[in-house]
Amino acid sequence: MSLVTENPRGTCVLGGVNNVLSAVTRVCPIYHSGPGCCMQTSAGESGQAGLRTPYFLSSVSSPCSNMLEREVVFGGERKLRDEIDGAIEIIDADAYFVLTGCTAGIIGDDVAAITEDYRKRGLPVYPVTTPGFAGDSLLGFETAWDTFLDYIIEPAAVKCPDLVNLLGVIPYHDPHWSGTLEELSRILRKLGLRVNTFFTDDQGIATVRGSAAAALNIIVSPYLLKDTAKKFEERFGVPSIRFNGVPIGATQTTEFVREVGAALKLGQAIIDSVVKSEEKYVYNYFESIIGALSWKRFVVAADAGTAIGVTRFLADDYGFTPVAVIVTEPIWRDSDKRRITDALTNPEYARPPEVSFLSDHYEIRQKIKSYDFTLLVGSSLEDEVARETGAQFHVMAFPMSDKLVINRTYAGYRGCLTLVEDLFNNL
Protein backbone atom coordinates (compact mmCIF):
# COMPACT_ATOMS: atom_id res chain seq x y z
CA MET A 1 0.00 0.00 0.00
CA SER A 2 1.27 3.46 -0.83
CA LEU A 3 -0.21 6.88 -0.17
CA VAL A 4 -0.15 10.08 -2.18
CA THR A 5 2.86 11.81 -0.65
CA GLU A 6 4.49 15.21 -0.89
CA ASN A 7 8.28 14.95 -1.24
CA PRO A 8 8.56 11.25 -0.40
CA ARG A 9 11.93 10.08 0.95
CA GLY A 10 13.66 7.47 -1.13
CA THR A 11 12.67 5.69 -4.29
CA CYS A 12 11.05 2.36 -5.17
CA VAL A 13 11.85 -1.32 -4.65
CA LEU A 14 14.48 -1.13 -7.39
CA GLY A 15 16.29 1.60 -5.47
CA GLY A 16 16.49 -0.45 -2.29
CA VAL A 17 17.57 -3.60 -4.09
CA ASN A 18 20.20 -1.68 -6.00
CA ASN A 19 21.52 -0.08 -2.81
CA VAL A 20 22.39 -3.52 -1.51
CA LEU A 21 23.67 -4.96 -4.77
CA SER A 22 25.91 -1.99 -5.46
CA ALA A 23 27.52 -2.27 -2.03
CA VAL A 24 28.37 -5.98 -2.25
CA THR A 25 31.70 -6.28 -4.05
CA ARG A 26 31.64 -7.49 -7.66
CA VAL A 27 27.89 -7.88 -8.02
CA CYS A 28 26.16 -6.77 -11.22
CA PRO A 29 22.58 -5.48 -11.20
CA ILE A 30 20.73 -5.77 -14.51
CA TYR A 31 17.66 -3.56 -14.76
CA HIS A 32 14.86 -5.02 -16.83
CA SER A 33 13.03 -1.73 -16.96
CA GLY A 34 12.25 1.37 -18.90
CA PRO A 35 15.00 3.88 -19.65
CA GLY A 36 15.58 6.14 -16.69
CA CYS A 37 15.11 3.68 -13.82
CA CYS A 38 18.88 3.29 -13.30
CA MET A 39 19.35 7.02 -13.05
CA GLN A 40 16.22 7.67 -11.00
CA THR A 41 17.10 5.05 -8.40
CA SER A 42 20.70 6.22 -8.12
CA ALA A 43 19.91 9.93 -7.99
CA GLY A 44 17.21 9.31 -5.40
CA GLU A 45 19.28 6.97 -3.22
CA SER A 46 23.09 7.29 -3.28
CA GLY A 47 22.66 10.80 -4.69
CA GLN A 48 20.74 11.71 -1.56
CA ALA A 49 22.91 9.86 0.91
CA GLY A 50 26.11 11.83 1.18
CA LEU A 51 26.80 11.90 -2.58
CA ARG A 52 29.15 8.92 -2.86
CA THR A 53 28.74 6.88 -6.05
CA PRO A 54 28.95 3.09 -5.93
CA TYR A 55 32.25 2.31 -7.61
CA PHE A 56 31.31 -0.83 -9.53
CA LEU A 57 28.07 -0.14 -11.38
CA SER A 58 25.50 2.55 -10.73
CA SER A 59 23.17 4.95 -12.47
CA VAL A 60 24.04 5.18 -16.17
CA SER A 61 26.65 2.43 -15.90
CA SER A 62 24.14 -0.18 -14.68
CA PRO A 63 23.19 -2.64 -17.41
CA CYS A 64 19.60 -1.96 -18.44
CA SER A 65 17.29 -3.36 -21.11
CA ASN A 66 15.87 0.18 -21.57
CA MET A 67 12.44 -1.16 -22.55
CA LEU A 68 10.69 0.97 -25.14
CA GLU A 69 7.26 0.86 -26.75
CA ARG A 70 8.20 -2.22 -28.79
CA GLU A 71 9.02 -4.25 -25.68
CA VAL A 72 5.98 -2.96 -23.82
CA VAL A 73 3.75 -4.13 -26.67
CA PHE A 74 5.48 -7.32 -27.75
CA GLY A 75 7.23 -8.36 -24.53
CA GLY A 76 10.79 -7.73 -23.45
CA GLU A 77 12.07 -11.25 -22.77
CA ARG A 78 14.19 -11.43 -25.91
CA LYS A 79 15.75 -8.07 -25.12
CA LEU A 80 16.43 -9.19 -21.57
CA ARG A 81 18.24 -12.34 -22.73
CA ASP A 82 20.45 -10.23 -24.99
CA GLU A 83 21.13 -7.88 -22.12
CA ILE A 84 22.10 -10.68 -19.75
CA ASP A 85 24.36 -12.25 -22.42
CA GLY A 86 26.09 -8.92 -22.90
CA ALA A 87 26.50 -8.35 -19.17
CA ILE A 88 28.06 -11.78 -18.69
CA GLU A 89 30.36 -11.16 -21.62
CA ILE A 90 31.79 -7.85 -20.50
CA ILE A 91 31.10 -7.28 -16.79
CA ASP A 92 33.58 -9.03 -14.52
CA ALA A 93 31.13 -9.92 -11.75
CA ASP A 94 30.64 -12.86 -9.40
CA ALA A 95 26.85 -12.70 -9.57
CA TYR A 96 24.22 -11.02 -11.75
CA PHE A 97 20.78 -10.02 -10.47
CA VAL A 98 17.91 -9.05 -12.76
CA LEU A 99 15.70 -6.31 -11.30
CA THR A 100 12.09 -6.02 -12.42
CA GLY A 101 11.00 -2.51 -13.37
CA CYS A 102 7.39 -1.34 -13.58
CA THR A 103 7.26 -1.91 -17.34
CA ALA A 104 8.45 -5.52 -17.07
CA GLY A 105 6.33 -6.12 -13.99
CA ILE A 106 3.12 -4.83 -15.55
CA ILE A 107 3.49 -6.62 -18.87
CA GLY A 108 4.51 -9.79 -17.02
CA ASP A 109 7.89 -10.76 -18.47
CA ASP A 110 8.98 -13.99 -16.80
CA VAL A 111 12.23 -12.92 -15.18
CA ALA A 112 12.31 -15.96 -12.89
CA ALA A 113 12.16 -18.45 -15.76
CA ILE A 114 14.72 -16.62 -17.85
CA THR A 115 17.26 -16.42 -15.04
CA GLU A 116 16.67 -20.06 -14.22
CA ASP A 117 17.75 -20.96 -17.76
CA TYR A 118 21.07 -19.28 -17.09
CA ARG A 119 21.57 -21.03 -13.76
CA LYS A 120 20.88 -24.37 -15.45
CA ARG A 121 23.83 -23.54 -17.66
CA GLY A 122 25.94 -22.88 -14.56
CA LEU A 123 25.82 -19.09 -14.83
CA PRO A 124 25.19 -17.08 -11.64
CA VAL A 125 22.13 -15.09 -12.77
CA TYR A 126 19.34 -14.53 -10.23
CA PRO A 127 15.90 -12.89 -10.34
CA VAL A 128 14.51 -10.13 -8.18
CA THR A 129 10.87 -10.43 -9.16
CA THR A 130 9.34 -7.82 -6.84
CA PRO A 131 8.56 -4.95 -9.25
CA GLY A 132 9.33 -1.29 -8.70
CA PHE A 133 5.73 -0.34 -7.96
CA ALA A 134 5.40 -2.87 -5.11
CA GLY A 135 6.76 -0.38 -2.60
CA ASP A 136 9.53 1.93 -1.49
CA SER A 137 13.28 1.46 -1.17
CA LEU A 138 12.92 0.12 2.38
CA LEU A 139 10.88 -2.75 0.96
CA GLY A 140 13.58 -3.05 -1.69
CA PHE A 141 16.24 -3.39 1.00
CA GLU A 142 14.30 -6.27 2.53
CA THR A 143 13.64 -7.72 -0.92
CA ALA A 144 17.39 -7.90 -1.59
CA TRP A 145 17.89 -9.95 1.57
CA ASP A 146 14.96 -12.20 0.66
CA THR A 147 16.61 -12.79 -2.68
CA PHE A 148 19.90 -13.65 -0.99
CA LEU A 149 18.07 -16.06 1.32
CA ASP A 150 16.26 -17.71 -1.58
CA TYR A 151 19.16 -17.98 -4.01
CA ILE A 152 22.56 -17.30 -2.47
CA ILE A 153 22.91 -18.22 1.19
CA GLU A 154 23.88 -21.84 1.72
CA PRO A 155 23.52 -24.02 4.81
CA ALA A 156 26.73 -23.94 6.82
CA ALA A 157 28.71 -27.15 7.19
CA VAL A 158 30.45 -25.69 10.20
CA LYS A 159 29.07 -23.02 12.52
CA CYS A 160 31.45 -20.30 13.68
CA PRO A 161 30.69 -19.19 17.24
CA ASP A 162 32.73 -16.01 16.84
CA LEU A 163 31.10 -14.89 13.56
CA VAL A 164 28.22 -12.37 13.48
CA ASN A 165 26.12 -10.80 10.69
CA LEU A 166 25.64 -7.08 11.17
CA LEU A 167 22.37 -6.14 9.46
CA GLY A 168 19.95 -3.24 9.18
CA VAL A 169 22.17 -0.40 7.95
CA ILE A 170 21.09 0.45 4.39
CA PRO A 171 24.08 1.21 2.17
CA TYR A 172 23.83 4.24 -0.11
CA HIS A 173 20.68 5.26 1.77
CA ASP A 174 21.88 5.81 5.33
CA PRO A 175 24.35 8.62 4.59
CA HIS A 176 26.77 7.36 7.25
CA TRP A 177 26.57 3.66 6.43
CA SER A 178 30.27 3.09 5.74
CA GLY A 179 31.59 4.76 8.85
CA THR A 180 28.82 3.22 10.93
CA LEU A 181 29.62 -0.32 9.81
CA GLU A 182 33.32 0.38 10.41
CA GLU A 183 32.77 1.71 13.93
CA LEU A 184 30.36 -1.04 14.98
CA SER A 185 32.73 -3.66 13.52
CA ARG A 186 35.61 -2.13 15.43
CA ILE A 187 33.70 -2.51 18.67
CA LEU A 188 32.54 -6.05 17.87
CA ARG A 189 36.05 -7.09 16.91
CA LYS A 190 37.26 -5.78 20.25
CA LEU A 191 34.91 -8.36 21.77
CA GLY A 192 36.80 -11.02 19.83
CA LEU A 193 34.23 -11.38 17.08
CA ARG A 194 34.50 -11.57 13.31
CA VAL A 195 31.92 -9.42 11.53
CA ASN A 196 30.09 -9.84 8.25
CA THR A 197 29.03 -6.34 7.29
CA PHE A 198 28.62 -7.45 3.64
CA PHE A 199 29.23 -3.90 2.43
CA THR A 200 32.66 -2.93 3.78
CA ASP A 201 36.15 -4.49 3.69
CA ASP A 202 35.56 -5.72 0.11
CA GLN A 203 33.16 -8.39 1.32
CA GLY A 204 31.43 -9.98 -1.62
CA ILE A 205 28.87 -12.54 -2.63
CA ALA A 206 30.99 -15.27 -0.96
CA THR A 207 30.45 -13.54 2.37
CA VAL A 208 26.71 -13.49 1.72
CA ARG A 209 26.80 -17.15 0.69
CA GLY A 210 28.61 -18.14 3.90
CA SER A 211 26.56 -15.99 6.26
CA ALA A 212 24.61 -18.97 7.61
CA ALA A 213 27.75 -19.95 9.51
CA ALA A 214 27.26 -16.95 11.78
CA ALA A 215 26.30 -17.48 15.41
CA LEU A 216 24.10 -14.39 15.50
CA ASN A 217 22.41 -11.73 13.38
CA ILE A 218 22.67 -8.30 14.95
CA ILE A 219 19.97 -6.11 13.42
CA VAL A 220 20.35 -2.41 14.11
CA SER A 221 16.90 -1.26 13.06
CA PRO A 222 13.70 -1.04 15.10
CA TYR A 223 11.63 -2.88 12.50
CA LEU A 224 13.40 -3.74 9.23
CA LEU A 225 14.26 -7.31 8.17
CA LYS A 226 11.68 -9.11 10.32
CA ASP A 227 11.05 -11.75 7.65
CA THR A 228 14.75 -11.98 6.98
CA ALA A 229 15.40 -12.73 10.62
CA LYS A 230 12.67 -15.35 10.65
CA LYS A 231 13.98 -17.08 7.54
CA PHE A 232 17.58 -16.99 8.82
CA GLU A 233 16.39 -18.75 11.96
CA GLU A 234 14.05 -21.27 10.30
CA ARG A 235 16.22 -22.21 7.35
CA PHE A 236 19.72 -21.82 8.71
CA GLY A 237 19.40 -21.79 12.47
CA VAL A 238 20.88 -18.31 12.84
CA PRO A 239 19.12 -16.41 15.66
CA SER A 240 18.80 -12.63 15.65
CA ILE A 241 18.86 -9.85 18.18
CA ARG A 242 17.44 -6.47 17.37
CA PHE A 243 18.72 -3.10 18.49
CA ASN A 244 16.48 -0.05 18.03
CA GLY A 245 18.65 1.60 15.42
CA VAL A 246 22.30 2.45 15.21
CA PRO A 247 23.60 3.13 18.74
CA ILE A 248 25.00 6.62 19.28
CA GLY A 249 27.10 7.49 22.32
CA ALA A 250 28.26 5.65 25.42
CA THR A 251 24.91 4.69 26.94
CA GLN A 252 23.41 3.08 23.85
CA THR A 253 26.65 1.54 22.64
CA THR A 254 27.29 -0.03 26.03
CA GLU A 255 23.76 -1.48 25.91
CA PHE A 256 24.60 -2.75 22.44
CA VAL A 257 27.83 -4.37 23.64
CA ARG A 258 26.12 -5.97 26.62
CA GLU A 259 23.19 -7.29 24.55
CA VAL A 260 25.54 -8.82 22.00
CA GLY A 261 27.68 -10.22 24.80
CA ALA A 262 24.67 -11.78 26.50
CA ALA A 263 23.31 -13.28 23.29
CA LEU A 264 26.64 -14.88 22.49
CA LYS A 265 27.42 -15.71 26.12
CA LEU A 266 30.72 -13.89 25.96
CA GLY A 267 32.79 -13.68 29.13
CA GLN A 268 31.87 -10.89 31.52
CA ALA A 269 35.50 -9.87 31.80
CA ILE A 270 35.95 -9.03 28.16
CA ILE A 271 32.61 -7.19 27.99
CA ASP A 272 33.47 -5.10 31.04
CA SER A 273 36.92 -4.36 29.75
CA VAL A 274 35.65 -3.18 26.35
CA VAL A 275 32.95 -1.03 27.94
CA LYS A 276 35.39 0.47 30.41
CA SER A 277 38.05 1.41 27.89
CA GLU A 278 35.59 2.75 25.35
CA GLU A 279 33.61 4.83 27.82
CA LYS A 280 36.85 6.22 29.18
CA TYR A 281 37.80 7.23 25.65
CA VAL A 282 34.56 9.16 25.19
CA TYR A 283 34.44 10.79 28.62
CA ASN A 284 38.07 11.86 28.58
CA TYR A 285 37.18 13.96 25.57
CA PHE A 286 33.87 15.17 26.98
CA GLU A 287 35.75 16.36 30.03
CA SER A 288 37.69 18.74 27.83
CA ILE A 289 34.69 20.36 26.09
CA ILE A 290 32.40 21.06 29.00
CA GLY A 291 30.22 24.04 28.21
CA ALA A 292 31.31 24.27 24.58
CA LEU A 293 27.84 23.54 23.38
CA SER A 294 25.06 25.03 25.43
CA TRP A 295 21.62 23.67 26.16
CA LYS A 296 19.12 23.17 23.34
CA ARG A 297 15.46 22.27 23.02
CA PHE A 298 15.41 19.98 20.04
CA VAL A 299 13.06 18.48 17.49
CA VAL A 300 14.03 15.49 15.37
CA ALA A 301 12.51 14.62 11.98
CA ALA A 302 14.16 11.47 10.69
CA ASP A 303 13.80 7.78 9.97
CA ALA A 304 13.00 5.77 13.08
CA GLY A 305 16.47 4.30 13.64
CA THR A 306 18.28 7.63 13.31
CA ALA A 307 15.62 9.38 15.38
CA ILE A 308 15.96 6.94 18.27
CA GLY A 309 19.75 7.05 18.25
CA VAL A 310 20.11 10.82 18.17
CA THR A 311 17.22 11.58 20.50
CA ARG A 312 18.48 9.21 23.15
CA PHE A 313 22.06 10.49 22.83
CA LEU A 314 21.16 14.17 23.03
CA ALA A 315 18.66 13.61 25.86
CA ASP A 316 20.29 10.89 27.96
CA ASP A 317 24.00 11.55 27.42
CA TYR A 318 24.20 15.23 26.51
CA GLY A 319 21.52 16.83 28.63
CA PHE A 320 19.52 18.50 25.87
CA THR A 321 15.74 18.71 26.03
CA PRO A 322 13.78 16.57 23.57
CA VAL A 323 10.64 18.41 22.46
CA ALA A 324 9.30 16.23 19.68
CA VAL A 325 10.25 13.45 17.32
CA ILE A 326 8.69 12.96 13.89
CA VAL A 327 9.31 9.55 12.38
CA THR A 328 9.39 10.21 8.66
CA GLU A 329 9.21 6.86 6.89
CA PRO A 330 5.86 5.09 6.53
CA ILE A 331 5.53 2.56 9.36
CA TRP A 332 2.66 0.21 8.60
CA ARG A 333 2.51 -2.16 11.60
CA ASP A 334 1.08 -0.91 14.89
CA SER A 335 3.49 -3.14 16.80
CA ASP A 336 6.40 -1.37 15.12
CA LYS A 337 4.94 2.02 15.97
CA ARG A 338 4.65 0.97 19.61
CA ARG A 339 8.22 -0.28 19.75
CA ILE A 340 9.53 2.95 18.22
CA THR A 341 7.39 5.10 20.52
CA ASP A 342 8.56 3.18 23.57
CA ALA A 343 12.18 3.60 22.58
CA LEU A 344 11.69 7.35 22.20
CA THR A 345 9.58 8.10 25.25
CA ASN A 346 11.65 6.63 28.06
CA PRO A 347 14.49 9.07 28.56
CA GLU A 348 16.51 8.55 31.72
CA TYR A 349 16.03 12.07 33.09
CA ALA A 350 14.33 14.29 30.56
CA ARG A 351 10.60 14.59 29.97
CA PRO A 352 9.55 12.38 27.07
CA PRO A 353 9.17 14.07 23.68
CA GLU A 354 5.95 14.02 21.68
CA VAL A 355 6.18 11.36 18.98
CA SER A 356 4.37 11.39 15.64
CA PHE A 357 4.51 9.33 12.47
CA LEU A 358 4.29 11.48 9.35
CA SER A 359 5.68 10.80 5.88
CA ASP A 360 4.10 13.62 3.94
CA HIS A 361 6.48 16.53 3.85
CA TYR A 362 3.75 19.17 4.09
CA GLU A 363 2.46 17.58 7.26
CA ILE A 364 6.01 17.25 8.59
CA ARG A 365 6.68 20.94 7.97
CA GLN A 366 3.45 22.01 9.64
CA LYS A 367 4.14 19.79 12.62
CA ILE A 368 7.66 21.10 13.08
CA LYS A 369 6.40 24.69 12.95
CA SER A 370 3.95 23.94 15.75
CA TYR A 371 6.79 23.44 18.25
CA ASP A 372 9.02 25.82 20.17
CA PHE A 373 12.64 24.69 19.81
CA THR A 374 16.19 25.86 19.21
CA LEU A 375 17.70 22.89 17.36
CA LEU A 376 16.25 20.88 14.50
CA VAL A 377 17.84 17.58 13.52
CA GLY A 378 16.60 16.19 10.24
CA SER A 379 17.25 15.57 6.57
CA SER A 380 18.10 18.06 3.84
CA LEU A 381 14.36 18.39 3.22
CA GLU A 382 14.03 20.16 6.59
CA ASP A 383 16.42 22.91 5.52
CA GLU A 384 13.57 25.16 4.44
CA VAL A 385 11.52 24.90 7.63
CA ALA A 386 14.70 25.37 9.66
CA ARG A 387 15.32 28.64 7.82
CA GLU A 388 11.74 29.69 8.44
CA THR A 389 11.94 29.00 12.17
CA GLY A 390 15.44 30.37 12.63
CA ALA A 391 16.49 27.35 14.67
CA GLN A 392 19.92 25.76 14.48
CA PHE A 393 19.75 22.96 11.93
CA HIS A 394 21.75 19.77 11.73
CA VAL A 395 21.38 17.40 8.77
CA MET A 396 22.06 13.80 9.66
CA ALA A 397 19.29 11.75 8.09
CA PHE A 398 18.39 10.58 4.61
CA PRO A 399 17.83 12.32 2.25
CA MET A 400 21.08 14.25 2.58
CA SER A 401 22.14 16.12 -0.51
CA ASP A 402 24.12 19.05 0.78
CA LYS A 403 26.97 17.24 2.51
CA LEU A 404 29.68 14.97 1.21
CA VAL A 405 30.04 12.00 3.53
CA ILE A 406 32.94 9.60 3.01
CA ASN A 407 33.43 7.61 6.21
CA ARG A 408 32.04 10.03 8.79
CA THR A 409 29.70 8.47 11.33
CA TYR A 410 27.86 9.40 14.50
CA ALA A 411 27.61 5.77 15.54
CA GLY A 412 29.09 3.94 18.45
CA TYR A 413 31.42 5.38 21.01
CA ARG A 414 33.64 7.44 18.74
CA GLY A 415 30.90 8.72 16.46
CA CYS A 416 29.18 10.67 19.21
CA LEU A 417 32.26 12.86 19.48
CA THR A 418 31.93 13.70 15.79
CA LEU A 419 28.27 14.54 16.33
CA VAL A 420 29.12 17.01 19.07
CA GLU A 421 31.84 18.54 16.88
CA ASP A 422 29.40 18.94 14.00
CA LEU A 423 26.73 20.47 16.21
CA PHE A 424 29.24 23.03 17.44
CA ASN A 425 30.69 23.71 14.01
CA ASN A 426 27.38 24.67 12.42
CA LEU A 427 26.15 26.86 15.26
Partner 1 sequence: MARTYSGIRESRPYTYNDLGGKSLRLADDFNKKCLKNADRTFSQGLQCRQINSISCVLSLEDSVFIIHSPQGCSGCVTMGADGYRVGQAHRGVTLIKSPRVIVTNLDRDDVIMGGEKKLADAIKLARERYNPKMIFIFTSCASGIIGDDVDAITAEQQKLTDSILVPIHCDGFRSKICASGFDAAFIAIQKYLLPQEPQPKVKGLVNLFAPTSISYKDQLEVERMLGLLDAQVNYIPFYSSLEKIRRITSAEVSTSICKVFADEFMKELDETYGIPFAHTVMPIGVRNTDKWLLGIADLLGKRKLAEEYIEKEHRRILPQLEGIKKRLAGKKVFICGGTGRSFAAAALIDDFEMELVGLETPTYDFDAQMDIEYLNGIHQDYVVDIANMQPFEQVNLVNRLKPDLFIGVPSWSARLGVPTTHVLDPKRATMGYDGILYLGNKIADQVENPGFNRKLAPHSRLPYKESWYRQDAFKFIKED
Closest distance between partner 1 and the C-beta of residue 125, in Å?
A: 14
Which range in 11-19, 190-198, 300-308, 415-423 contacts partner 1 by CB under 8 A?
11-19
Would you tell me how many other CB atoms lie within 10 Å of the CB of residue 51? 15
Nearer to partner 1, 8 or 415 (CB): 8
The answer to whether 418 contacts partner 1 (rule: CB under 8 A) is: no
Beta-ladder partners of 300: 325, 377
Task: Note the residue count of the chain.
Answer: 427
Using CB under 8 A, pick the residue from 19, 48, 196, 217 that binds partner 1.
48
Dihedral in degrees, nearest 10, Cα atoms 169, 380, 417, 315: -90
The answer to whether 11 contacts partner 1 (rule: CB under 8 A) is: yes
Edge-first strand listing for the sheet containing 95-100: 27-32, 95-100, 125-128
The answer to whether 426 contacts partner 1 (rule: CB under 8 A) is: no
390-409 residues near partner 1, rule: CB under 8 A: 399, 401-402
The answer to whether 201 contacts partner 1 (rule: CB under 8 A) is: no
Nearer to partner 1, 68 or 113 (CB): 68
Give the separation between CA 209 and CA 155, rounded to whole angstroms. 9
Which range in 45-53, 181-189, 299-307, 408-416 contacts partner 1 by CB under 8 A?
45-53
Closest distance between partner 1 and the C-beta of residue 329, in Å?
A: 11
Nearer to partner 1, 7 or 273 (CB): 7
The answer to whether 108 contacts partner 1 (rule: CB under 8 A) is: no
Closest CA to 33 of 144, 133, 118, 163: 133
Which range in 65-73, 176-184, 207-215, 277-285 contacts partner 1 by CB under 8 A?
65-73
37 sits in which H/E element: helix 37-43
Closest CA to 56 of 10, 110, 93, 13: 93
132-191 residues near partner 1, rule: CB under 8 A: 132-137
Contact present, 218 and 164 (Cβ < 8 Å): yes
Residue 35, classed as helix, strand or coil, is coil
The answer to whether 17 contacts partner 1 (rule: CB under 8 A) is: no
The count of residues interacting with partner 1 (CB under 8 A) is 80
Closest CA to 249 of 336, 165, 187: 187
Task: Cis check for the bond before 399: say yes or no (omega within 30 of 0).
Answer: yes
Nearer to partner 1, 4 or 158 (CB): 4
Give the separation between CA 273 and CA 271, rounded to whole angstroms. 5
Using CB under 8 A, pick the residue from 19, 65, 143, 165 that binds partner 1.
65
The answer to whether 249 contacts partner 1 (rule: CB under 8 A) is: no
Nearer to partner 1, 407 or 418 (CB): 407
Q: What angle do CA 269, 274, 277 make, to 5 degrees?
A: 120
Nearer to partner 1, 355 or 381 (CB): 381
Nearer to partner 1, 47 or 168 (CB): 47
Using CB under 8 A, pick the residue from 92, 287, 334, 348 that binds partner 1.
92
Closest distance between partner 1 and the C-beta of residue 399, in Å?
A: 6
How far is the first Cα of the chain from the last one, in angstroms, to the nearest whole number? Answer: 40
Nearer to partner 1, 7 or 426 (CB): 7
350-369 residues near partner 1, rule: CB under 8 A: 362
82 burial via Cβ count (<10 Å: 0-12, 13-18, 19+) = exposed
366-395 residues near partner 1, rule: CB under 8 A: 380-381, 383-384, 387-388
Closest CA to 411 of 210, 247, 186, 224: 247
